[in-house]
Amino acid sequence: MSNFPFLLLLTLVPLVGAIVVAVMGRERSNEDSAKKIAVGFGLIELALAIWMFFSFNPDGDRLQFVTSMNWISPLGVKFALGADGIALLMIVLIALLVPIVMIASWNRESLGDEVNEPGSLDPERAPAGTRAQMFAWILLLEVFLVVVFAATDVFLFYVAFEAMLIPTYFLIGGYGSSQRRPAATKFIIYSLVGGLIMLGSVIGLYVVSKDQLGEPNFDWTALQGLDIPASTQTWLFFGFFIAFAIKAPLVPLHTWLPKSGGEAPVGVGVLLVGVLDKVGTFGFLRYCLSLFPEASQRWAPLVLVLAVVGIIYGAFQAVGEQDMKRLVTYTSIAHFGFIALGIFAFTTQAGAGAVLYMFNHGIATGMLFLVVGMVVARGGSRRVNDYGGIFVVAPWLAGFFFIAGLASLALPGTNSFVSEFLVLLGSFGTEPVFTIIATVGFVFAAIYVLWLVQRTLHGPPSLLVEERKKFFGDLSKRELGILTPLVALIFFLGVYPQPVLNVINPAVEATLQNDVGIPDPGAPPYADQNGGGQ
């Protein structure tokens, strides 16, 4: 099945779905039908992604399911797609979360999207369009995300990287809370600045490839063979790195995320922290390390400093945050510090842990965002201190909230623990100081998660919960259907992550050994060439 056009179909299915749903959703009389069709296209996409995952051969070619067509021939640009184990996992993640997000966001009230500032309601604020039109934007975003992860042409990657800003901007600015427009504007400014800086490096690659190959070439594999001088590598590296650091986000380029995640509809927030941010960390692996290996190693200490600062800073901010939606975004900033640490530690174990963390974070934090939205929908407030005693009035909701919190703090037995353990274990051999500092993040994670759980779930019901008791029904069948698959994945990958690691490991090894040129990145520094101790 390596020649089956999975990636082309995964691009076309949500594109067709977005067009159909956008046309149908213009009429409110068709909204329910349009929403069902949107979910149908999302489920077809998920089925294709799962089929592709099980058709992938970990022992086969590095890039599989390759599709290539001429696009802009004079510039050497092709519409070229291909997936290694890393891209495959990210595509499965977006295909999994999109139908879940649409079902969870079925009505404006489902996840408390009408709740604005913490503790306030604005029932007169009207969204920009129907829910069906919102689903159409989500499907369009899925198109560009699939292309971003699957592109093997750097110019195509850049186009998709910029194009995905359009649906994201309208999803935040059109359907978010009262401060949605400033949040969407901040998001687009940060992203566009990063994209323009990256464009400079894309043009630089065009010039270098034309000089060395005799004609311009944006093929990712061909660009890996260029002999780029160290000084030039540094400039090109930072052009890509800054754009990816904004998207990831790394401190101090992170400030757009709490604002955007806090003001976006909860479902869109799930996609922001669950998938869209992964474009940055994916870019580190696919482009920074592979195309600019010398610059990546030279500037790794700077990235590691930013990573551990992000771990501690994100945790501190989460501890003191009252707005539950913003709190989740700060936890993500801390988690992305662990991912960056694993990538720039340059060991196979840490790199595999980082990629697994990218997938597991999308599941665990996506679930946490969803249950926060369900609580907000019932309580009419985003403020942590307004809640208490939810276990008394809605035990199933509280139970799923508790599981999501435990996964977020990386409790052993949950998927996040495996990821963090691999990152720290793999990083210690090459970067012991940064790894030791990063372990402090474990302590802070326990503080902010257990503090959130204690304040909201335990004790007697708060005044707000008592006043709105009639709204605090327990989980509906629809909500149970949304959350149960995520819980199953949290525990399955926490106990048995090997099937996913089997897909990840060859891609990480190829990146570090073939692209970066590290002979044995999995070995500790005291091992000799044969793997024995000195």
pLDDT of 118 above 90: no
Supply the pLDDT for residue 530.
39
Please report where in the chains the tokens 């592709």 appear, as a residue. 52
- List Cα–Cα distances, 179 to 27, 139, 150, 165, 501, in angstroms: 27, 24, 34, 18, 41
Task: In whole angstroms, give the CA distance from residue 246 to residue 195.
Answer: 10
**Do 318 and 292 form a contact (C-beta atoms < 8 A)?**
no
The stretches of 116-179 forming alpha helices (DSSP H) are 131-150, 154-163, 165-175
pLDDT digits (tens, 9 = 90+) for 38-56: 999 999 999 999 999 999 9
What distance in Å separates the CA atoms of residue 472 and residue 385, rounded to the nearest whole number?
17
The answer to whether residue 125 scores a pLDDT higher than 80 is: no
pLDDT exceeds 50 at position 533: no
pLDDT band at 112 (very low <50, low <70, confident <90, very high): low
Residue 468 has pLDDT above 60, yes or no: yes
Q: From 370, 401, 186, select the one nearest 268 (Cα to Cα).
A: 370
CA distance 469 to 356: 40
| Token code pair at residue 84 | 């290694």
Q: Per-residue pLDDT for 291 more than 50? A: yes
Q: What is the biggest distance separating any 2 CA atoms in the chain, rounded to whole angstroms?
A: 75
Q: Which of 279, 59, 243, 39 is nearest to 147 (CA)?
A: 279
- CA dihedral of 212, 213, 217, 223, whole degrees rounded to 10: -60
**CA 143 – CA 166 distance, rounded (Å):** 12
- The full DSSP string for 252-294 is TS-THHHHHHHHS-HHHHHHIIIIITHHHHHHIIIIIIHH-HH
Q: How do the domains of the chain map onto residue ranges?
A: 1-198+259-286, 299-498
Q: Hey, how many other C-beta atoms are within 10 angstroms of the C-beta on 4?
A: 14
Burial class (CB in 10 A: 0-12, 13-18, 19+), 293: buried
Tokens of 407: 């996964």
Q: What is the pLDDT of residue 128?
A: 57
What's residue 124's pLDDT? 43
